Amino acid sequence: MLNFMPFTFKRLSIPDVILVEPSLFSDDRGFFFESFKESDFFSNGIDKNFVQDNFSHSVNGVIRGLHFQKAPKAQAKLVTVLKGKIFDVAVDIRKNSPTYGKWVSEILSDDTHNLLYVPEGFAHGFCVISDEADVLYKVSNEYSQEHERSIIWNDPKLNIQWPITKPIISNKDNKLSLLENLDNDFVYRDQS
C-alpha cells in the first residue's frame, strides 16, 4: 500500500510562516482533498487549536489588513481561498526577531487550494487580484475588539509590494498605525 501524504508543509523565508499544499485527487466527478487534519498539522509545527472560522468576500483591488490581536487573545491564522486569488502577506512584528519588520507573501487561489499558516506575533493582510475572492481562515482565539491591533497597509518601512495600482481600503484600515508606533507586546524567543 502506498504511504499517502495529504499535505506538503513548506517553511517560507521567515520559517515560522508555513505554506501548506494539500494533495488533490481528481477524476471525472471533480476533485477531493483534505483541507485540515490536526495530527498532520501538529506533527509539522502547526500545533494550535483553532476555535473560530472567518469568511470574507471581497472584490478586485481590496486590501484587508494588516491585522492581529495582542496577548492574551493573540491569534494564529490558517488562511485559504475558496474562490478567486489573493496576494497574502504575513509581517513579523516580534520584537528582537531577526526578521522583525520583514514580510513574506504567497499567492493563494482556488486553483491550488494552498493554505498559509500565520503564527501569533505576525500581522496579516491580503489583497484581491482576481475579479473577486472568497477567503476562509481559522483562528486560534476568538475575536476580541479589546485586543485587536493593526498596521497601515502602506507603511513605508515595511514597503510591501502590493500587486495592484488602485487599492480599495476601508476607512478603518486607512487610519492605522505605523509599525514603529505600534502597541505591541510580542517578543521573539529563539526555539533552537
**Which CATH number is 105's domain given?**
2.60.120.10
135 falls within a domain: yes
Of 113, 117, 124, 137, which residue is the catalytic one?
137
For residue 39, the model assigns a pLDDT of: 87
- Partner residues linked to 57 by β-bridges: 134
153 falls within a domain: yes
pLDDT band at 4 (very low <50, low <70, confident <90, very high): low
38 falls within a domain: no
Q: How far is 165 from 167, CA to CA, in rounded Å?
A: 6
Lowest mean pLDDT across 104-113, 143-152, 173-182 = 173-182
**Is 67 one of the catalytic residues?**
yes
Q: How far is 76 from 125, CA to CA, in rounded Å?
A: 13
Query: What is the per-residue pLDDT across 22-71, written as a single tens digit (0 to 9) for each?
Result: 888 888 998 888 888 888 889 988 999 999 999 999 999 999 989 999 99
Q: Which domain holds residue 168?
A: 7-24+45-181
Of 67, 100, 147, 188, which residue is the catalytic one?
67
CA angle 77, 79, 84 (to 5 degrees): 160
Name the region of 113 (left: φ>0; alpha: ψ -120 to 50; beta: rest). left
154 falls within a domain: yes
Query: What is the per-residue pLDDT across 59-101, written as a single tens digit (0 to 9) for each?
Result: 999 999 899 999 999 999 999 999 999 999 999 999 999 999 9
> How many domains does the chain divide into?
1
188 falls within a domain: no
Tell me if the bond preceding 66 is cis, omega within 30° of 0: yes
191 falls within a domain: no
128 falls within a domain: yes
39 falls within a domain: no
